[in-house]
């Protein structure tokens, strides 16, 4: 449902893993595999620009722009279309159901709290937990870790919130160019600010349009400065949609149903319902939000392989609760007592602008995409 994982962004990850001799759980993509086999690059760099959906690129940039003209394909991302699930899957080629990394806020029984996996803190109470608490109980192994184990030098490159991170996108592109002349054969680079700006201003804003143009320019310049034996693959974890309406579940007619506060994502929300109240909740939810959200029971989620068609993580059913509500319009559900109620731009739902991501391939001095 919603995502065909064979043919999703994970098929392109499979092509890269296959090229380096790693196992892959999905079929590789024939077009990217053909480019890799034809060019035989010594190095493959993956640059993931958070939020840079394929539809946004095509809407905002001219056809002859670097990103549009070098776009090999625009497959769907994983479900949900969000950073926690998608970047984890792109970094190891396995779907969210198998990794267990499903959304921005997940229930962790060891602390009886809904925590933010990337920040080791409570989502609702902002309690800080020692160490990388979610990864401690839900570990994942990445492609770069696997490659290092078999003697293929690999590394990551992140913004400045990580040690040795980049202050801006210009610095990230300059460092990638320099690293293409180093011993590293595989690099995963992640940039976050485009997604941040869209959350704040909405993907249709002039600010975000200008920043996308800047990204396009910097990546074009990056390719000109790469070692000619380096293939660059640019992709994204998801796109975004403009949010024009919201509904706050906190202190609403729905609050009485919740055995604990909602989790996962605002546009892919997981509910744990009090025993005996499931049918009443389902009936009321569909009455209120039938035009804006798809409501699936736990059984329907499992049967549909919504989060992937691989073996489920041992904690998967605990993470998804009793129901998943999936956004299909410009409405967002929130559960907030105070503060900024909602972002101008959001993702994690099933609108096309959220789901489809670019696969852009480029190599210095070589035209890889022939229209």
Taking only the tens of pLDDT, the chain with its 371 residues reads 689 999 999 999 999 999 999 999 999 999 999 999 999 999 999 999 999 999 999 999 999 999 999 999 999 999 999 999 999 999 999 999 999 999 999 999 999 999 999 999 999 998 999 989 999 999 999 999 999 999 999 999 999 998 899 999 999 999 999 999 999 999 999 999 999 999 999 999 999 999 999 999 999 999 999 999 999 999 999 999 999 999 999 999 999 999 999 999 999 999 999 999 999 999 999 999 999 999 999 999 999 999 999 999 999 999 999 999 999 999 999 999 876 667 899 999 999 999 999 999 999 989 898 76
User: Given 3.40.50.1980, 3.20.20.70, 3.50.50.60, 3.40.720.10, which CATH number is that of 9-101+140-241+352-362?
Assistant: 3.40.720.10
pLDDT at 369: 84
Coil vs helix vs strand at 281:
helix
Q: Which long-range contacts (CB under 8 A, 24 or more apart) does 64-67 make?
A: 65/216, 66/216, 66/217, 66/219, 66/220, 66/223, 66/362, 67/215, 67/216, 67/219, 67/234, 67/358, 67/360
Question: Per-domain residue ranges for the chain?
Answer: 9-101+140-241+352-362, 245-342
pLDDT at 69: 97
DSSP at 119: T
d(CA 341, CA 334): 7
pLDDT at 342: 74
DSSP at 130: S
Q: Would you say how long the chain is, in residues?
A: 371
From 171, 170, 161, select the one nearest 196 (Cα to Cα).
161
pLDDT at 1: 60
CATH class belonging to 245-342:
alpha beta
Beta strands in 216-364 (DSSP E): 230-235, 241-242, 245-248, 258-264, 268-273, 293-297, 323-327, 331-334, 345-346, 359-362
**pTM for the full model?**
0.96
Angle between helices 206-225 and 169-179 (to 10 degrees): 20
Q: What is the dihedral of CA 176, 201, 347, 32, to 10 degrees?
A: -30
H or E stretch covering 354: helix 352-355
pLDDT at 340: 65
DSSP string, 35-95: HHHHH--SEEEEEEETT--HHHHHHHS-TTSHHHHTEEE--B--SS-SHHHHHHHHHHS--
Q: What is the dihedral of CA 135, 139, 143, 146, to 10 degrees?
A: 120
């Amino acid at each position: 449902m919603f995502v065909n994982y064979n043919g999703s962004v994970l098929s392109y990850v499979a092509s890269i893993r296959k090229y380096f001799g790693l196992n892959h759980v999905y079929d590789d993509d024939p077009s990217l595999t053909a480019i890799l086999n034809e060019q035989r690059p010594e190095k493959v760099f993956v640059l993931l620009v958070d939020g840079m959906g394929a539809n946004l690129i095509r809407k905002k940039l001219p056809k002859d722009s670097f990103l549009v003209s070098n776009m090999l394909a625009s497959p769907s991302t994983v479900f949900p279309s969000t950073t926690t699930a998608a970047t984890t899957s792109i970094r190891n080629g396995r779907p969210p159901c198998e990794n267990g990394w499903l959304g921005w806020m997940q229930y962790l029984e060891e602390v009886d709290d809904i925590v933010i996996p990337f920040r080791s803190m409570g989502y609702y109470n902002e309690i800080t937990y020692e160490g990388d608490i979610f990864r401690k109980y839900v570990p994942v192994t990445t492609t770069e870790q696997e490659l290092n184990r078999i003697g293929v030098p690999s590394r990551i490159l992140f913004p400045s919130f990580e040690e040795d991170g980049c202050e801006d996108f210009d610095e990230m592109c300059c460092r990638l160019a320099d690293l293409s002349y180093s011993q590293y054969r595989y690099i995963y680079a992640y940039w976050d600010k485009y997604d941040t700006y869209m959350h704040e201003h909405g993907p249709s804003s002039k600010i975000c349009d200008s920043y996308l143009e800047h990204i396009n320019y910097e990546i074009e310049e990056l390719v000109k400065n790469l070692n000619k034996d380096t293939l660059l693959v640019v992709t994204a974890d998801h796109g975004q949609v403009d949010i024009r309406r919201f509904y706050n579940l906190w202190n609403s007619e729905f609050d009485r149903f919740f055995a604990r506060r909602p989790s996962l994502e605002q546009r892919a929300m997981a509910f744990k319902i009090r025993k005996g109240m499931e049918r009443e909740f389902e009936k009321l939810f569909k009455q209120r939000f039938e035009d804006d959200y798809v409501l699936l029971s736990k059984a329907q989620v499992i049967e549909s392989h919504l989060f992937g068609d691989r073996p489920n993580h041992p904690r998967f059913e605990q993470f998804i609760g009793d129901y998943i509500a999936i956004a299909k319009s410009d409405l967002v559900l929130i559960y907030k007592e105070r503060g900024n109620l909602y972002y101008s731009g959001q993702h994690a739902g099933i609108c096309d602008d959220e789901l489809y991501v670019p696969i852009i391939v480029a190599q210095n001095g070589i035209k890889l995409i022939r229209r």
